[in-house]
Amino acid sequence: MQGIMSGKRGLIMGVANSNSIAWGIAKTLHDHGAELAFTYQGDALGKRVKPLAESVGASLILPCDVSDVATVKSVFDTLKDEWGTLDFVVHAIGFSDKSELKGRYVDATTRENFIQTMVISAYSFTEVAQFAAPLMTNGGSLLTLTYGGSTRVMPNYNVMGVAKAALEASVRYLANDLGPDGIRVNAISAGPMRTLAGAGIGDARAMFAHQQRNAPLQRTVTQEEVGGSGLYLLSDLSGGVTGEIHFVDSGYNITSMPRPEQLKS
Ligand code: NAD
């Protein structure tokens, strides 16, 4: 298919099922002509990811657990052998022990899970950039997914908010380092969405309802809307944009207080 992504090849990391944010971005990229490769985390998720990836004509569907650097290296070795070059990567990966995504941050957070959350949800993007950049000989675009709990306290988001703050800082440092090579690095800060990872956060339903009542657009965002912003940031349409945290959250991030009618109830 012809489109603004025609002739571009990229890797999608972080599809678990058809509700995944990464899947929304992948579908949009495919609709605009991109050639895609996918990773999946473990055989159980692989059974869900493979049919989705095949439905958009994926040429490579590879296992990858970012807590094991050997599997990350193996993915990029394969991409080098099969494609030679790479135009973009979507990193939509996050994990924390859900028993720590409820209650007070100060009480819930253990050393072990703090480290695990940081490695999987923040460091892995830097490691992916280290492997991807040498393949981006014609320039490229790296995109990760973050959430507003990085800069503002969201109940129950806890250690994941701390990891997202590190991830967003990584976006800026990577953008500065890789800019001279024509490689852009950005993040989408999505509003709450009903996904496997989203369901792991305590009181996810309440966050969802709060967003619907208080965001300027008075609703949550769709997979297609995040897909459209992903297309923009991964294509030449955003050629002058790097180091950006781009909110796709119905405008929730600009608000400070609940709407007056909410305060009364
Ligand atoms: P999801 O559960 O569909 O996707 C999370 C992905 O992370 C899964 O594919 C999972 O396999 C992968 N993952 C976890 N640990 C991994 C590991 N060790 N190695 C490789 N992959 C691993 O949920 P989602 O909501 O689509 O999450 C994608 C990204 O979007 C995450 O970074 C999440 O924090 C972020 N995000 C989600 C929301 C939301 O409300 N759902 C909002 C803003 C940002």
123 given a catalytic annotation: no
Q: Which of 147, 173, 232, 252 is catalytic?
A: 147
Other C-beta atoms within 10 Å of 172: how many?
Answer: 15
- CB of 44 within 6 A of ligand 1: the answer is no
If you search the block for the tokens 């994990």, which residue do you land on? 95
User: Which pLDDT score, from 0 to 100, does residue 265 have?
Assistant: 60
Ligand 1 atom 22 nearest Cα: 93
Q: pLDDT at position 264, please?
A: 74
For 94-122, the pLDDT digits (tens) are: 999 999 999 999 999 999 999 999 999 99
Q: Is the pLDDT of residue 2 over 80?
A: no
> Quick check: is 105 catalytic?
no
Q: How many CB atoms lie within 10 A of CB 73?
A: 14
Residue 127 lies in a domain: yes
Answer whether 21 contacts ligand 1 (Cβ < 6 A). Answer: yes
Q: What gap in Å lies between CA 5 and CA 102, rounded to an integer?
A: 41
Domain count, the chain: 1
Averaged pLDDT score across all residues of the chain: 97
pLDDT at 258: 87
Evaluate whether residue 121 is within a structural domain.
yes
What string of H, E and C letters represents the secondary structure of 205-250?
HHHHHHHHHHCCCCCCCCHHHHHHHHHHHHCHHHCCCCCCEEEECC
- Best mutation site among 27, 41, 96 for ligand 1 pocket (most ligand atoms within 8 Å of CB): 41
Q: Is ipTM strictly over 0.85?
A: yes
User: Residue 59 — very low, low, confident or very high, per pLDDT cuts 50/70/90?
Assistant: confident
Residue 239 lies in a domain: yes
Domain assignment present for residue 264? The answer is no
Q: Is residue 108 situated within a structural domain?
A: yes
pLDDT at 80 over 70: yes
Is 261 inside any structural domain? no
Task: Tell me what pLDDT residue 70 has.
Answer: 98
Residue 193 CA: nearest ligand 1 atom is 40
50 vs 53: CA distance, rounded Å: 5
CA atoms in the 13 A half-sphere facing the CB of 130? 9
In ligand 1, the atom with minimum distance to the C-alpha of 164 is 34
Q: What is the residue with the minimal CA distance to atom 19 of ligand 1?
A: 65
Q: Three-state SS for 64? A: coil
Q: How far apart are CA 208 and CA 162, in angstroms?
A: 21
260 part of a folded domain: no
Greater pLDDT, 252 or 261: 252
Q: Using alpha carbons, select from 28, 7, 49 the residue that is nearest to residue 196.
A: 49
Question: Does residue 87 lie in a domain region?
Answer: yes
Indicate whether 66 pLDDT > 80: yes
List the residue whose alpha carbon is closest to atom 29 of ligand 1.
92
Which atom of ligand 1 lies closest to the CA of 15?
A: 9
Residue tagged active-site, from 157, 173, 232, 252: 157
Pocket of ligand 1 contains residue 197 by CB under 6 Å: yes
Confidence of residue 262 (pLDDT cuts 50, 70, 90): confident
Residue range of the domain that includes 122: 9-252
Residue with CA closest to ligand 1 atom 33 = 94
Sequence-separated contacts (24+) of 227-231 with Cβ below 8 Å: 227/24, 227/25, 227/26, 227/27, 227/28, 227/29, 228/28, 229/188, 230/24, 230/25, 230/28, 230/29, 230/90, 230/143, 230/188, 231/4, 231/5, 231/25, 231/28, 231/29, 231/32
Residue 201 CA, ligand 1 centroid: distance in Å: 12
Round to whole Å and give the CA distance between 115 and 36. 31
Q: Residue 104 is part of a domain; what is its CATH number?
A: 3.40.50.720
One-letter amino acid identity for 169? A
Q: What is the pLDDT of residues 193-221, one digit of tens each?
A: 999 999 999 899 999 999 999 999 999 99
Rounded to the nearest angstrom, the distance between the alpha carbon of 64 and the centre of ligand 1 is 14
Alpha-carbon span 140 to 78, nearest angstrom: 18
